[in-house]
Structure 1
Amino acid sequence: MLLSLNLKNFVIVDKLALEFASGLSVFTGETGAGKSIVIDALGLLLGDRADAGMVRHGTDKAELAVEFDISKLAAARAWLAEAELTGDDADVVNLRRTLDSQGKSKAFINGTAATLAQLKTLGEMLVDIHGQHAHQLLLRPETQRAVFDAFASAGDIAATVGSHWRDWQRAEEEFAAASRNAAAFEAERERLQWQINEVAELALGEHEWEELQGEHRRLQHAASLIDGVQAALTALTDGDENCQGWLGSATRQLQELASYDELLTPSLDLLAGVEAQLSEAVSELRRYADHLELDPQRLQEVEVRLDAIWRTARKYRIEPPDRLPQALQDWNAQLENLGGGEGIARLQKAVATARAAYEKTAAQLSALRQKHAAPFAKAVTAQMKPLALAESTFTVALTAVPAGGHGQEDVDFQIAHGEAEARPMGKIVSGGELSRISLAIQVISSGLSGVPTLVFDEVDVGIGGRVAEIVGRMLADLGKAHQVLCITHLPQVAACGQQHFQVSKDKGNAGIVSHVAALDEAGRIEEIARMLGGVDITETTRRHAAELLGHA
């Protein structure tokens, strides 16, 4: 339930703070006073797009804030928890929006920055706004279908039908494209298979390319390696004059001298380390030399293998050649996507599967629509009777059509006046009749809605007298199950409100400013008298207003 609304520098409002009660709250005022500003502000706070023109002229920034009680809205509390946007009080949610004069906007949920999509998602759980042009939208086929599917609790399955329809059409397009290009499809499959076979036959190991290159270098320079290693061993240990001999001689001399001066001990320790490392290096070189040999036959084998790998890599423009195993994996994946030799058959099967899924859900949707067409028509007709449409009957015509994204039937709202044949609403009803039919439908739809707060923006256009009083009672009855906000220009409707706000405007030094005030009993009499009597309010008009309030 809506608890409070605060606005600052919004359009022609400088500062506004409103608190709301349950039941029916009405907003009245002179034409042009800004009665719709409250609804516009709610729309922004619930995710509508903003523009710089909404910032009050002469100011830098507009600020809007609203508070809702969500203690009875388990879905909203769960959504906030999942999005990590729960506030200090889990039963209350605060929404805030700021707009600057450059058109930039920021949104917050419980003090945390939020996106417009998040505001919109949460807002759909909190408020349902019926605009003043809702009756015009009701002439559109998509609106009629959406309203009826909501009554039939078919919204989810209708969305599934649309999803399955898109899947089916996408599968059909893929199959058609593959069929048109069957030759190219098969050629691509054969090309991939040829490449896969050739590279697979090569059987290149994961690190084989690097290992072969290393072995080739060793075999190619084997003579140089043998001569060089032998020369190194001669210098280190095998020659008449060698490093090990010199190092041993120097060590022995220093050991004799160290007995005279112990300061030579660190040098002896260092030389001992050098001697150990030199001995280890000699051992390593001998082991290396033992495995060195001239092997022209192995050199030729390695060169043949390297050449085969290199030619295959160059043929398929793969560089460096060690990427051949990865290329083989990629080609296998592409071939699998083509379905091997069964590509066309696989796509054809996908079409059949997608079509079957669509037809199954579309049949379920059709059954739901057939089941609820008569109950919906009966409910709307019953609501129309007291709205000066007692001789009219509302029907829902379901006409079979070729399969499509919205199912297998068109939904058409029709009206029959008296004994006449039912015809589409757009061809038979007047503007005033359309607004009353729209109101009847909105009352039914809102009664089914789990949204706690309903907003009606001048949905009573085109009616008056006794019908206006009935509309007021309808809204008041709706207020027993929901919180209802209604902008109205009819005194009969205003008199039915449990809470009454008057919207006015005046011109001061800062320009035109809009004000909204909650009225007490005396204030309500004056306002309803103004709505009844116009410019000159007489005592008779006031008595009539008081009587209207008492009667409501």
Structure 2
Amino acid sequence: MLRALEIRDMLIIDRLDIAFQPGLNVLTGETGAGKSILLDSLGFVLGWRGRADLVRQGAAQGEVTAVFEIGPDHPAQAVLAEAGMGEAEELILRRVNTLDGRKTAYVNDRRASGEVLRALSDTLVELHGQQDDRGLLNPRGHREMLDAYGALEAERAAVRGAWRAVGAARAAVTATEETLEKVRVEEEFLRHSVKELDKLAPEPGEEATLDTRRRAMQAAERIRGDIARAYELMGTDAGEGALGDALRWLDGVADKAEGMLDEPIAALNRAMIELGEAQSGVERALDSMSFDTGELETTEERLFAIRGLARKHGVAPDDLAGHADALRTRLAALDAGDADLGRQRAELKAAEAAYDAAAKALSEARRKAAKALDKSVMAELAPLKMERAVFATEITEGEAGPDGRDVVQFTVATNPGAPSGPLNRIASGGELSRFLLALKVCLTGPDSGRTMIFDEIDRGVGGATADAVGRRLEQLAAGGQVLVVTHSPQVAARGAHHWRVAKNVKGGVTLSSVVPVAEEGRVDEIARMLAGDTITDAARAAAQALLDG
């Protein structure tokens, strides 16, 4: 609810403070007095795009502050939370405009963008007039209005859930199809590679083991011949035999040498023992270096095969086994892909059928709600002297979406037999105002949470019709807040709170002012609206009758 509006140096307003109240607030005054400036200023602080030259001539900057009272469940709380501003019971919007066009906005004394202001505006204010392009005349909002009127949130939620399920199922089918398509392109390569890798069956660490064995066999091949020749020279036909012969010769003559050969014979015995140990060691070395020449060839062939496959697939030799598993997985996906795709397509078909059923149920509910809305609007048109007009909610089929397939548009025919069409193309100014008011009466719940503003919506009507307009505005204001700019005394008389907008010239400067009209002054103000500048007793009596009525 709009509690206060403070305007400083905007257009022809130098300083203005208005404390709006719950219920029906009416603003009256002569044409050109500045009533539209109030709306321009309010739109400015709410972030609406409008005229650029708002700063009063001679002032450095203009400023507008609007104070709204909001409850804990008000939709504005969600906007504040998203903007990181926290919950508030009072919303103070302030916006400054400098001469060079720079605009600065604040929400509860924190800097805010124009986007945040406009998001808050959508939850705080509804503006309706004969150029109501922000509200009822915009066909893009008609479906939401119809759904709100019919309380179809459950049906809409079912359709949205079904739509999400269709999207998820379709995404799964698309992903599987794309995966299968990519795999099929390389299927021949995959099958050949897997067969080749399975045949070789490389194991992690095998390449290093083969390389070590190969190097050992190559080294043994190079030195084993020399070791074997040395071993032969140590044998009985060479070193061992010569030492043995020498020892036998010496043993045969030792008793005749009077002890001179004892030391040499002992040394030869020790040499025979050392030679035996050397022979055993060399023999063990030869045994360890023994290998089948075919083993070296086999080892080299496998080592080169592993390294070749690693280069071919661009992986390390130790990763070949894991790479083979990955290729087998892709092949398995290909082999199982058709079954998966068939299952996913069946799920998509089921999801589409569920969506069709939910969308059909929503469409039926909308058609039922449309009939009730049409009947309700027609009942409101009769007192507004439009009993010959026809209002109809047109529902046609459009593209499927999260809110169903229905395209909803409010249409009118102003006379029986005349073609129907969109509100803003068929109805004249006065007729359009009454259509909008009738619609608003039917569409507005007991507590919309928004301040409704009607800008001269009663233009072009008078008498009993204007009285009917006033009564409906009063009805809309019950339990909420309505601001109406009006030239109609019948509408003004229905106001719970009354302000008069006047234009004055002081010191050669034209300024606009807004003053509250006290209860005793309302008779004269409404009489002025009835009679003009000269207020007669008859006009006062008529004004009093309107206030009493």
Please, what TM-score do these two structures have when normalized by structure 1?
Answer: 0.66
Alignment of 1:96-175 (within 5 A): 96-101=94-99, 103-134=101-132, 141-154=139-152, 157-158=155-156, 161=159
Aligned to 2:39: 39
Counterpart CA distance in 2 for 1:328 and 1:96 is: 66
State whether residues 126 and 451 of structure 2, in contact with CA within 8 Å, keep that contact through their aligned partners in structure 1: yes
State whether residues 455 and 485 of structure 2, in contact with CA within 8 Å, keep that contact through their aligned partners in structure 1: yes
Query: Cα distance 1:541–1:509, how it changes in 2: closer, same or farther (>3 A)?
Result: same
| AA in 2 matched with 1:28 | T
Q: Deviations over 1:49-108 (max 9, x none)?
A: 477544445555443322222247465557656765346xx4322233344455554443
How far 1:383 moved relative to its partner?
1.4
Counterpart CA distance in 2 for 1:334 and 1:95 is: 63
Query: Cα distance 1:402–1:483, how it changes in 2: closer, same or farther (>3 A)?
Result: closer
Is 1:466 matched with 2:464?
Answer: yes
Query: Cα distance 1:430–1:344, how it changes in 2: closer, same or farther (>3 A)?
Result: same
Is 1:456 matched with 2:454?
Answer: yes
Aligned to 1:374: 371
How far 1:446 moved relative to its partner?
2.2
Aligned to 2:480: 482
State whether residues 413 and 419 of structure 2, in contact with CA within 8 Å, keep that contact through their aligned partners in structure 1: yes
State whether residues 4 and 17 of structure 1, in contact with CA within 8 Å, keep that contact through their aligned partners in structure 2: yes
Aligned to 2:430: 432
Q: Secondary structure at the match of 2:382?
A: helix
Counterpart CA distance in 2 for 1:419 and 1:54 is: 46
How far 1:151 moved relative to its partner?
1.0
Aligned to 2:494: 496
Aligned length: 472
Query: Cα distance 1:461–1:355, how it changes in 2: closer, same or farther (>3 A)?
Result: farther
Query: Cα distance 1:402–1:485, how it changes in 2: closer, same or farther (>3 A)?
Result: closer
Query: Cα distance 1:368–1:102, how it changes in 2: closer, same or farther (>3 A)?
Result: farther
Counterpart CA distance in 2 for 1:39 and 1:334 is: 69
Aligned to 1:261: none
How far 1:148 moved relative to its partner?
2.1
Query: Cα distance 1:59–1:216, how it changes in 2: closer, same or farther (>3 A)?
Result: farther
How far 1:441 moved relative to its partner?
0.7
Aligned to 2:90: 92
Aligned to 1:309: 310
Aligned to 1:264: none
Q: Secondary structure at the match of 1:528?
A: helix
| AA in 2 matched with 1:486 | V
Counterpart CA distance in 2 for 1:174 and 1:137 is: 40
Counterpart CA distance in 1 for 2:317 and 2:534 is: 95
How far 1:396 moved relative to its partner?
3.6
Is 1:68 matched with 2:68?
Answer: yes
Q: Secondary structure at the match of 1:134?
A: coil
Segment of structure 1 superposing worse, 446-455 or 347-356: 347-356
| AA in 2 matched with 1:550 | L
Query: Cα distance 1:538–1:76, how it changes in 2: closer, same or farther (>3 A)?
Result: closer
| AA in 1 matched with 2:536 | E
Counterpart CA distance in 2 for 1:391 and 1:46 is: 39
How far 1:454 moved relative to its partner?
1.7
Query: Cα distance 1:65–1:188, how it changes in 2: closer, same or farther (>3 A)?
Result: farther
State whether residues 184 and 334 of structure 2, in contact with CA within 8 Å, keep that contact through their aligned partners in structure 1: no
Aligned to 2:384: 387
| AA in 2 matched with 1:365 | L
Aligned to 2:255: none
Counterpart CA distance in 1 for 2:37 and 2:508 is: 18
Query: Cα distance 1:341–1:455, how it changes in 2: closer, same or farther (>3 A)?
Result: same
Unmatched 5+ residue regions in structure 1?
Answer: 225-292
State whether residues 415 and 424 of structure 1, in contact with CA within 8 Å, keep that contact through their aligned partners in structure 2: yes
Query: Cα distance 1:455–1:196, how it changes in 2: closer, same or farther (>3 A)?
Result: farther
Counterpart CA distance in 1 for 2:511 and 2:417 is: 52
How far 1:387 moved relative to its partner?
0.6
Q: Secondary structure at the match of 1:450?
A: coil
Q: Secondary structure at the match of 2:483?
A: strand
Larger radius of gyration: 2
Unmatched 5+ residue regions in structure 2?
Answer: 220-287
Segment of structure 1 superposing worse, 348-357 or 364-373: 348-357
Aligned to 1:3: 3
